[in-house]
Amino acid sequence: MIKTYKVRLEPNKEQEQKLWQSAGTARWAYNWTLAKQEENYKNGSKFINDSELRKELTQLKKTPEFEWLGNVSAQIPKQAVKDACNAYKSFFGKKSKKPRFKSRKKNKPAFYNREDKLNIHDGKVTIERVGRVKLSEKNRIPENVKYCNPRVTHDGLYWYISVGVEEEPIKQELTGESIGIDVGIKDLAICSNGSTYKNINKSRKVKKIKKRLRRLQRKVSKKYENNKKGESYEKTCNIIKLEKEILKLHKRLKNIRTDYIHKTTTEIVKTKPSRIVMEDLNIMGMMKNKHLSKAIQEQNLYEFQRQIQYKSEWNGIEFVKADRFFPSSKLCSECGSINKDLKLSDRIYKCPNCGNVIDRDYQASINLSMYKSA
């Protein structure tokens, strides 16, 4: 199995400038490919293969107008061309939406680094045409192994490198237990074994950061209004400083939530069940509810499910996605009858057939643990 490692980089000023140059070249090559494909499509021609576009890019590099392409690794624009072509293939295969042009302001700066040119040793990583860049964690990524798909990204504050390493899954004895997990907004997860994991967004620590965030956002908004000239807004040094503080708070909130999900999923997997069952949630559909969309977004339910799935596979545990229309909450865990009149506001389940009274979410987790796939 491929295990991904992501570590923050600590480049100096010269290295950071080269990183920005590489990311900019990758963005230009991606947009150039999309423009070529769209122009070709309008003319009624077929899809251009990425190998043809990469040959054209090599010839383009030899012209005086585009000689700046030689300042970065040759593999960066070539891989960007390949990524753009793969995005179009996914669109034609109805696996994703139509690829869009990458904006300098909105899109995340990123680029590819050649696998054979990547070397990690003594807390530093060698990036082609950038040099030896210091890593924030010295022994986080394994050394002297084969890396796959190395990517360098920037999240608005820091640079990161992510690499895939092929490792063997963990072999261990399992308990034979089947655990059902019901996720929600009130609590993050309710397990059939009796464990309940609270919503981290209701904690005092998160509420305090969110309060600070709201204050800074109002402050920036007022400064923009005060510096408005006609229809345009002037961005001052104070606004840039405040926006950086806001970005740091967003990053801190994200780290707190991600850390909590990692700890929760690891704790569940460490109980060593033979089987974990979760509902196949329609997150996109749930987000359309304007009253609950923010709470659902903050819970990171998709990320929770993703982590449970790959950690289960990594530890040799069977992961099952229950059918989206399986009535886990409406089904009585005692007699098996379905209460069709159950509302979302009813937090306690009362069975009209056998009189069973149980917490709605806990019962859903019990039903999921007994779920049998077709």
Q: For the chain, list the strands marked E by DSSP.
A: 2-10, 110-112, 119-121, 124-127, 131-135, 147-154, 159-166, 178-183, 187-191, 196-198, 228-229, 232-233, 275-279, 318-322, 348-350, 357-359
**Across 135-151, average pLDDT:** 94
Tell me, what amino acid is at 212? R
Residues in a beta bridge with 112: 151
Q: Lowest-pLDDT range, 67-71, 95-99, 316-320, 350-354?
A: 350-354
**Across 201-229, average pLDDT:** 95
| Distance, CA of 281 to CA of 101 (rounded, Å) | 30
Q: Is 317 in contact with 268 (CB distance < 8 Å)?
A: no
**Across 14-42, average pLDDT:** 95
| Distance, CA of 202 to CA of 199 (rounded, Å) | 6
Tell me, what amino acid is at 59? Q
**pLDDT reported for residue 374:** 63
User: Would the CA dihedral through 35, 39, 42, 45 be positive or negative?
Assistant: negative
The more confident residue out of 320 and 341 is 320
Backbone phi and psi for residue 275, each to the nearest 5 degrees, phi listed first? -155, 135
**pLDDT reported for residue 351:** 87
Residue boundaries of the structural domains of the chain: 2-166, 178-322
Q: Is 338 in contact with 163 (CB distance < 8 Å)?
A: no
pLDDT band of 354, cuts 50, 70, 90: confident
pLDDT band of 292, cuts 50, 70, 90: confident
